[in-house]
């Protein structure tokens, strides 16, 4: 699937309150490969259609070869389509031997800073 086709799967809606910083969390993954994705973001002008997130992840895991590749694709695609104030992608893969592989990526708009909310991220 091309980059353009993959990003076309990301549909959005208008943010109901653009003045407010709030966190949205979406989870999904690839059950057959033991991969869980948690995507958290603080929206700016638009919010992600949560139903589209499932289709998007399915496309990602059909084409990627590693958690790192999947994570960078998700971060770049969501940055491009959502232009969120802040976003974080967490990917975890578990296998039968009880080992775990974790990848965490994060980005934010250059001028965005909400220290009070950032201090609470780990608790949410």
Q: Per the confidence metrics, is the pTM higher than 0.75?
A: yes
pLDDT grade for 123, boundaries at 50, 70 and 90: low
How would residue 113 be classed by pLDDT, with cut points 50, 70 and 90? confident
- Residue 114 tokens read as 């909400």
User: How remote is the C-alpha of 106 from its chain's centroid?
Assistant: 9
For residue 31, how many other CB atoms are within 10 A of its CB?
8
Say if CB 87 and CB 42 are below 8 A apart. yes
Alpha-carbon gap, residue 103 to 87, rounded angstroms: 14
- Return the pLDDT at 21: 94
Other C-beta atoms closer than 10 Å to the C-beta of 87 total 24
Give the count of alpha carbons within 13 A of 73, CB side only.
25
Q: Are 14 and 45 in contact (CB under 8 A)?
A: yes
Per residue in 24-61, pLDDT (tens digit) is 999 999 988 889 999 999 999 999 999 999 999 999 99
Condensed to tens digits (0 to 9), the pLDDT of residues 71-85 reads 999 999 999 999 999
Burial class (CB in 10 A: 0-12, 13-18, 19+), 99: exposed
């Amino acid at each position: 699937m091309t980059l353009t086709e993959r990003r076309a799967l990301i549909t959005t809606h208008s943010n109901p309150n653009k003045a407010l910083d709030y966190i949205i969390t979406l989870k999904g993954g690839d059950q057959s490969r033991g991969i869980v994705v948690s995507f958290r973001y603080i929206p700016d002008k638009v919010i992600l259609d949560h139903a589209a997130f499932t289709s998007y992840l399915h496309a990602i895991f059909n084409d990627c070869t590693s958690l790192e590749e999947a994570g960078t694709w998700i971060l770049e695609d969501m940055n491009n389509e959502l232009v969120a104030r802040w976003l974080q992608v967490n990917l975890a893969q578990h296998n039968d031997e009880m080992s775990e592989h974790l990848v965490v990526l994060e980005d934010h708009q250059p001028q965005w800073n909400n220290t009070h909310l950032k201090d609470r991220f780990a608790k949410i």
